[in-house]
Amino acid sequence: MLLAIPTFYVLIRALVQEEVDEELIVEKVAVVKKLQEKMTKNPGVIPDLLDNDLIIIKAAKFIAHDSFYNETIYDTTLRERIPHRVLVTHQLLNNKPYEILIRVSMLDYDNLIEVIVAVQAFVMVLLFIGLQVINRKLSKRIWDPFYRTLHQLRRYRVEEQQALLFDKTGYLEFDDLNKAITQLTERNHKAYVSQKEFVENASHELQTPLTIFQTKLELLMQTSPLNSEQAGLISSMADTSQRMNRMNKALLLLSKIDNQLYSGKEEIDLKQLFNETVTQFEDAIEQKNLKVQVGNHSRPKVEANRTLLEILANNLVFNAIRHNMAGGIVEVSFNDHEVAIENTGSAKPLDPDQIFQRFKKQSSDANSLGLGLEIISKICRINEFGLRYRFHDNKHCFIIDLQGGNGKNSE
């Protein structure tokens, strides 16, 4: 449409100019005839036809071809410059060459062209608007089943619904799409139920034997007489059993997080949460003579599952204590969109490429499972928090961006 209006204007102007040129040629024939008649009666005298748009002058030479050009002439009456179309022709009058200029005003023609183009543009704009309205209504009607399906998909929760069911749309393509979505959501729900049952069964079936095994080891250690070699073996088995127990719980926790088994959200005061978490580790803090500071400048609050955030806070504080040095520092700071926990410790920064990977231990602690940061990472991902690591001034700092950030990275 943007090209149609200028093209239409150029076309109309060309047609009008062609028509004006034809009129000038007709007028030329009439003028030449009158001149020939008058100069026959009065040879050598250039007659005055009393027409301001007609100029007759003697020519130095005769040119056989006529020519046209456009000219703008100032009109003293209208006090403006008026566009004209000019025909230049050479004629032999009494065997002498004369140049004749015939002009015609283009003002009325230009006004007519502008009116025609304006009307045409108005009609085309109305047509365009009408087509857009019709197209929008048709599109809305045709795509309405798709948007209803999309709305249901956005509200779908695999842990709450068995499958999505749709009404008939009247369109074969959308009915096929809805049928495929129903089958897909049904399979997903069945897979979710199976995974949930597996996690629950694994939690029970693995935890019970481990508990029994640990209990019997404790009873065995209380029997006598035991030599030093037997006591060492039993102690080693007890340590391994405890490690297996902790690893089992950590892996089951990761599985539950992956399968979104922690539902239900509430508003949580993060400053209060971290204060409560620090209180739980008072014995470990005193044992290492650590200085712990929890910031008081801000109290950010988030909508999240309380259990998951308690696990997040426990892991962050526990890591800051475990990997700290005697007499070290732990600082927890807040602002409106970030939580940062910083601690002294190893003088070397952690490996940013492996820090959040499962079973990638960043310390020499034999009791470390290498799963703590993986758990922290998954909880942040589920809650759409950003998580990044920073090392400066010999301090390790983990920063949680409550507004999303850029995911996992290091600084």
Per-residue confidence (pLDDT) for residue 331, from 0 to 100? 92
Compute the distance between CA of residue 388 and CA of residue 198 in angstroms, rounded to an integer: 33
Q: Give the per-residue pLDDT at 291.
A: 92
What's the pLDDT score for residue 383?
Answer: 86
- Quote the CA–CA distance of 126 and 296 in Å, as a whole number: 63
Distance CA 38, CA 30 (A): 13
Q: What pLDDT does residue 344 have?
A: 92
DSSP result, 26-74: HHHHHHHHHHHHHHHHSTT-------TTEEEEE-SS---S-EEEEEEEE
Q: How is the chain split among helix, strand and coil, in percent rounded to 5?
A: 50, 20, 30
The domain ranges of the chain are 4-112, 172-258, 266-410
For residues 237 and 313, what is the distance between their CA atoms, to the nearest angstrom? Answer: 31
Q: Alpha-carbon distance 141 to 170, whole Å?
A: 11
pLDDT at 36: 81
The tokens of 6 are what?
């200028």
Which residues of the chain fall below pLDDT 70? 1-2, 43-52, 161, 199, 203-204, 224, 243, 246-251, 253-254, 258-261, 351-372, 405-411
CATH number of 266-410: 3.30.565.10
Angle at 262 between CA 259 and CA 263, to 5 degrees: 110
- Write the Ramachandran bin of 344: left for phi over 0, alpha for psi from -120 to 50, otherwise beta: beta
